[in-house]
């Protein structure tokens, strides 16, 4: 029996290879590319641009093969269609050379969703076989899970075997070996095992009426009740919004999307039992779920509109908005028609995914134009872009506008490249493309953005800054060894002014205490204050010598060209403070000194 089972397994594997040669060829390309990625030591992007279309080939070529079988087309035609699909994937690789990493992975994910949906719906195009459609996708889903389980067990067993060889026989097993093993199993064994279970006779599935009892229990008694609870929570939240007249939270998008996905999955899972006499309530759920979902979709659209109104469109907001509109259309369709045609869901979603991939209406083109126009409006509002020409702002730009300008430039450059700034200004695009390199030690976040904003006289705001940063005080006496006039003074003490210190002088002891606001030093003798030395004028003198910086930028105090000195007398004593170094912050409410070192000269005043 063991040899028969092995022979039978080998026969099925051979049949799968003969049935899906192009799919397994794509898997082979993916395995080789992934193995090369393990060895890569430099830029891995070129290999990734080969790996991703190879992964897309697995689902797309599977859909083409099963569709050809369902339509009883000659094998030559099916292989020709697969060849055209491979050329299209080669086009993905070719054009991806100009895409940023963000666009590369986003476009890959979009096509991956579309191609997996094609596997589910393409073989049944133009046929009314709803029962076969459900059975087919149930079998694919279960086969995928079984393949994943077998692959995980196989990897775990072989990995433990490698560990045993390493520890028992002293054979050095490199850590990369485990990664290579996982690649072979995940991209070789898993798809091959999955393909061996793909049904070949789709017409016969129309006669099958079996329904897994475990699936019914999961859908009816776990998934549907959970979805109902969350729908009640969303409805209660809608009532709260109407009562308080507040905008829905941006977090609502994730919740509505999750509830919609879970509810739709539940509907698809219980579809075969909707007509059974003992499950009439399931049929009611199939219709009223979408009716109950409409208020939540309305909240989602409101939240999306608010974010787009404030910050413009990005790919994520575009996809969320399209998903919300698609949900609204599907919900209205099922609520009005009471249709039981579940193919509407994957078919329309696949169409939406493919239509929004390319073209002037695509997520990428629309988001690029939206952020470009938003950037142009911000520049024009702050009189930085006047009649199409860039100029430095005439007034300080608010932190909020600087943050939004920085975010728009960062998004366009990082996601779509410097050329995308043409939507705001041709001159701005030229500035970005010719921006000189920025010292990484000065700006680790978006060097091109720093250069662009410095060119137009605006201080760049990092993605991590949520509040305006105060100006910094950083004075250092230059030169440090200039002689100090001590005529008329008795002693000289070098001290940190921000820390209390005392100076014994004859029978008296002078106590120096730091005053934070306004900055200065109090001098006491026997507990009585004899003088107050203010540093306000000193700071004002240094501030007047500051170099002008970009609009809104934190600026440090520059050396004014001579020593900063403050002095006072009282109680028979005279004190002069010569600052050596000083640092702190200079917010609008007044300076906050954190460190001050000075030479303190003390002498007696003539009687």
576, 492 Cβ separation under 8 angstroms:
no
pLDDT in tens, 388-438: 888 888 888 888 999 999 999 999 999 998 899 999 888 888 877 776 655
CA distance 56 to 41: 25
Nearest 10 degrees: Cα torsion 426, 387, 452, 555? 180
Reported as a pLDDT band with limits 50, 70 and 90, residue 551 is: low
Does the pLDDT value for residue 283 go beyond 80?
no
This prediction has a pTM of: 0.81
Reported as a pLDDT band with limits 50, 70 and 90, residue 5 is: low
According to DSSP, residue 63 is labeled H
pLDDT in tens, 284-301: 777 788 888 888 888 888
One DSSP character per residue, 386-449 reads: ETTEE---SSPPPHHHHHHHHHHHHHIIIII-GGGGGGT-HHHHHHHHTPPP--TTT--S-HHH
CA distance 322 to 110: 13
Pick the residue with more confidence: 538 or 502? 502
pLDDT in tens, 186-196: 999 999 999 99
């Amino acid at each position: 029996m063991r040899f028969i089972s092995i022979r039978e397994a080998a026969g099925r594997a051979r049949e799968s290879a003969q049935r899906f040669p192009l799919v397994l060829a794509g898997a082979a390309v993916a395995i080789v590319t992934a193995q090369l990625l393990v060895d890569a030591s430099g830029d891995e992007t070129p290999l990734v641009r080969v790996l991703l279309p190879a992964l897309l080939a697995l689902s797309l070529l599977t859909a083409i093969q099963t569709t050809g079988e369902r339509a009883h087309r000659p094998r030559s035609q099916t292989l020709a269609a697969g060849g055209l699909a491979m050329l299209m994937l080669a086009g993905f690789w070719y054009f991806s050379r100009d895409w940023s990493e963000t666009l590369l992975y986003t476009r890959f994910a979009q096509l991956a969703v579309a191609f997996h949906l094609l596997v589910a719906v393409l073989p049944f195009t133009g046929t009314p076989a709803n029962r076969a459609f459900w059975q087919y996708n149930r079998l694919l889903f279960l086969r995928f899970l079984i393949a994943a389980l077998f692959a995980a067990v196989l990897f775990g067993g072989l990995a433990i075997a490698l560990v045993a060889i390493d520890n028992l026989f002293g054979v050095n097993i490199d850590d990369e070996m485990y990664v290579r093993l996982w690649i072979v199993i995940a991209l070789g064994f898993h798809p091959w095992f999955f393909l061996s279970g793909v049904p070949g006779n789709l017409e016969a599935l129309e006669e099958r009426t079996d329904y897994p009892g475990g699936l019914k229990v999961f859908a009816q008694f776990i998934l549907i009740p959970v979805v109902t609870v969350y729908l009640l929570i969303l409805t209660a939240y809608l009532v709260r919004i109407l009562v308080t007249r507040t905008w829905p939270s941006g977090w609502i998008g994730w919740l509505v999307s999750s509830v919609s996905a879970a509810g739709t999955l539940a509907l698809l899972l219980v579809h075969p039992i909707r007509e059974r006499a003992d499950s009439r309530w399931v049929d009611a759920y199939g219709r009223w779920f979408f009716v109950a979902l409409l208020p939540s979709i309305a909240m989602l659209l409101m939240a999306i509109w608010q974010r787009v109104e404030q910050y413009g469109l990005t790919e994520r907001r575009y996809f969320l908005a399209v998903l919300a509109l698609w949900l609204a259309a599907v919900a209205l369709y099922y609520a009005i028609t009471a249709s039981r045609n579940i193919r509407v869901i994957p078919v329309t979603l696949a169409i939406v995914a493919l239509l929004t991939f390319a073209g002037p209406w695509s997520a990428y083109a629309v988001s690029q134009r939206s952020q470009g126009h938003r950037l142009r409006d911000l520049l024009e509002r702050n009189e930085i872009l006047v009649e199409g020409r860039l100029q430095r702002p005439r007034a300080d730009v608010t932190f909020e506008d600087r943050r939004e300008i920085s975010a728009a430039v960062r998004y366009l450059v990082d996601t779509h490249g410097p050329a995308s700034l043409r939507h705001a200004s041709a001159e701005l695009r030229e500035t970005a493309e010719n921006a000189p390199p920025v010292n990484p030690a000065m700006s680790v976040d978006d060097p091109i953005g720093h250069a662009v904003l410095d060119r137009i006289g605006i201080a760049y705001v990092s993605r991590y800054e949520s509040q305006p940063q105060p100006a910094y005080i950083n004075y250092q006496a230059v030169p440090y060894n200039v002689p100090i006039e001590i005529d008329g003074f008795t002693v000289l003490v070098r001290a940190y002014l921000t820390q209390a210190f005392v100076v014994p002088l004859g029978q008296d002891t002078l106590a120096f205490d730091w005053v934070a606001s306004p900055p200065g030093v109090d001098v006491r003798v026997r507990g009585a204050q004899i003088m107050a030395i203010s540093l306000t004028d000193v700071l004002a003198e240094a501030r007047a010598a500051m170099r002008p910086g970009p609009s809104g930028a934190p600026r440090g105090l520059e050396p004014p060209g001579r020593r900063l000195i403050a002095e006072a007398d009282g109680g028979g004593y005279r004190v002069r403070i010569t600052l050596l170094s000083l640092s702190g912050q200079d917010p609008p409410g007044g300076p906050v000194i954190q460190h001050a070192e000075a030479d303190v000269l003390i002498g007696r005043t003539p009687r």
